[in-house]
Amino acid sequence: MTNLYNIIQKTAENEINSGSHKGNLILEEFYEKPHFEGKTKLNTGDIEIRYNPEYENRNPGKTSIVAKDITFHEIDHAKYKNCIGCPQTLNNHVKLFYEPMADVLLKKGFSQSDVHYCANALQDTILHYDGSANGRRSLEGIALFFKDVGENSKDEKGKIKFTGFYEAHVKLNMHLWGNKQQKKSMKKFYTHKDEINKAMKNFLKKTKGKNFLNESDWKSIAELYAEEFSRLMEPGYAMPLLNHSGKGTKGKESGKQGGLEQEVDSEQDSDEGNVFDRQMRTKEYKKSRIRESYSNDEKAPSWIDNFEAMDLLYESLAQKLNIKSKTFTQDSKMPICYYGKRDFDPKKDNLKNLGFGYAENGELGLKKKRWHQDLPISVKKRPLSFPRMRFGLLDTSDSMREDVNGGDSVGSTKIFPWGDKSKYHYALLSWYGFLEYLKQNHLMNQTNIDLGNFSSRTLVGKGLKQAKEIALAPQFGTTKIELDKINHFFEGRDSLIFTLSDGGISNWDSIKDDFIKNAKKHQYFHLQIGHSNGTTEDLEQAGLYVDYIRNAEDLAGKTIDLTDKLFRR
């Protein structure tokens, strides 16, 4: 390793120790500009610093100064010893910064990448102020990083400068913690445009009296920051922060109309942002956040779109059902030790557990272990008879959005538009419970899960993703089945097919002969919410299985039990 590498390594590791950080250092050379990047690994907490050694040639002795403050910066996102830290925790990041900013920015037409970037910029500002408090640190390395960004960014005329947003970002940092020399070194990058000065003036005026180092003020500060700094978030506004390169941000064209439906993107695979940005994108956190909103009878957070919110919540609710995940097991034994010896018989013995020993005549020969001690175990076994194709057809007629008694007491509609006490809610919970049953028994094959909903039209989704889209888009119209839309699901034999309805089917007389003929070739059952009718009577008369659900709350358990019993026979 070079001497520069060793100096940086020692400096950064000293910071890790001083900050009482549990992660390790990952130090890498790279050859990009700006010359520095910092990141904290999601699962390990390791701090990764990348530096371009060319920087040292033009700035002797400065590389280690930048690396030192990058290390502090990464640690203080959680908490550097004897500092406040910002945002400190994942929940603080989401609830005190990201969500209040999303409520402002998404309505204005910005993307989620813009929200992540904006939240990072404010958190960086606060943690830098935290580091400088009481004269603890000069943050010369952060000032050098800002300077490096400016020197490697040019406008269309080749002049080095900051964008309007970045100028305001740096000015706010200099206002909170910069010394005279640091402020002077930034001036060559400033344009001092009226809109920049106005955004800064408005923000500082509105946050007067608020404490940037008090987390009780962070939410209101974040809202004000998003409101004022968004005026400067034009396309190309995002220059590199230590945790966010600006990649993926879009900004907003002047005069463009906003609206949540325009720019809500999932960013599921994005690696931009600090460690909390990446953690909040995980399915596990989103699911916990949706559960929390549901428990508090709140709307889904604006940064999670409606489809994803409903899908994650139904998955979560299904996981609480009583699923028989040990249905397909068989008792077995596993040898854990071998003992005793006998002569090896090459005609009947395999070559396992052989050793050498002496015969009675003193000759050396092969010996086979005679006995073994066994440990009883249960082995999960996939049933060979379980069908590859599974198709469900759900009734989405208008009556399905009623409550179980046919009334309008459908429960909360904050996340589920049809209400969490409606018949359709219980129908969906039964289908998601069925999916959870397959998952827990290692029977899930996403390409062989299909679903249709029938009402004024018959809509079919092929594969798990499309099936969920169809499930979460009920029609709530009339009640008929377009047989030509589902005939291909009746091809072959012995697939799992079930239907679910709360009433009769208006065109049943014209389709019943073909429907029954096809259903008999498969492992079919029908779930009927309420009393019998002409449709169910014809199905039963034909020898097909019909189960009457007197209480819609029992749908999920009944679907799972029928599936389990059908294939455990």
What is the secondary structure of 296-336 as a DSSP string?
A: TT-PPPTTS-HHHHHHHHHHHHHHTS---TTSSEEEEEEEE
- Pinpoint the alpha helices (H) of 247-403: 260-263, 275-280, 283-295, 306-319
| CA 132/CA 70 separation, integer angstroms | 14
Q: Model confidence at 384, in pLDDT bands (50, 70, 90)?
A: very low
Q: What confidence tier does 157 reach under pLDDT thresholds 50, 70, 90?
A: confident
- pLDDT of residue 327 exceeding 80, the answer is no
Give the pLDDT mean for 467-474. Answer: 97
Lowest mean pLDDT, pick from 110-124, 142-156, 467-481: 142-156
User: Higher confidence at residue 390 or residue 19?
Assistant: 19
What mean pLDDT comes out for the span 319-323? 84
The residue that leads in pLDDT, 241 or 136, is: 241
> Environment class of residue 469 by beta-carbon count within 10 Å: exposed (0-12), middle (13-18) or buried (19+)?
middle
User: Taking the model in full, what pTM does it have?
Assistant: 0.82
Rounded alpha-carbon distances, angstroms, from residue 254 to 168, 232, 336, 492, 517: 18, 10, 72, 58, 62
Q: What angle (nearest 5°) sits at the alpha carbon of residue 66, between those of residues 61 and 72?
A: 135
The amino acid at 529: I
Q: pLDDT value at position 260? A: 44
For 490-539, the pLDDT digits (tens) are 888 888 899 999 999 999 999 999 999 999 999 899 999 999 999 999 99
Tell me what pLDDT residue 552 has.
82
Q: How far apart are CA 529 and CA 41, in angstroms?
A: 51
Portion of the chain with pLDDT greater than 70, in percent: 85
pLDDT tens, residue by residue, 340-352: 677 767 766 766 6
Coil, strand or helix at 45:
coil
Helix or strand or coil: residue 372?
Answer: strand
Taking 70 as the threshold, does the pLDDT of residue 190 lie above it? Answer: yes
Query: Tell me, what's the pLDDT at 324?
Result: 61
Q: What percent of the chain has pLDDT over 90?
A: 72
- Predicted pLDDT at 383: 45
Which helix (H) or strand (E) segment holds residue 376: the answer is: strand 364-380
Would you state the pLDDT for residue 328? 47
Averaged pLDDT for residues 282-291: 96
Give the pairing type, strands 364-380 and 354-358. antiparallel
The mean pLDDT value of the chain amounts to 89
First-to-last alpha carbon distance for the chain, in angstroms, is 67
The yes-or-no verdict on residue 468 having pLDDT over 80 is yes
Task: Give residue 261's pLDDT band: very low, low, confident or very high (50, 70, 90).
Answer: very low
Least confident of 18-22, 46-50, 87-91, 447-451: 447-451
pLDDT tens, 64-96? 999 999 999 999 999 999 999 999 999 999 999
Write down the residue that tokens 């040898």 correspond to: 335
Q: 9: Cβ–Cβ under 8 A, 6 or more apart, which residues? A: 1, 25, 27
pLDDT higher at 222 or 438 = 222
For the chain, domains (ranges, CATH) are 3-281 (no CATH), 329-380 (no CATH), 390-568 (3.40.50.410)
Least confident of 4-18, 22-36, 332-346: 332-346
Where is pLDDT greater, at 505 or 391? Answer: 505
For residue 563, what pLDDT is reported?
A: 80
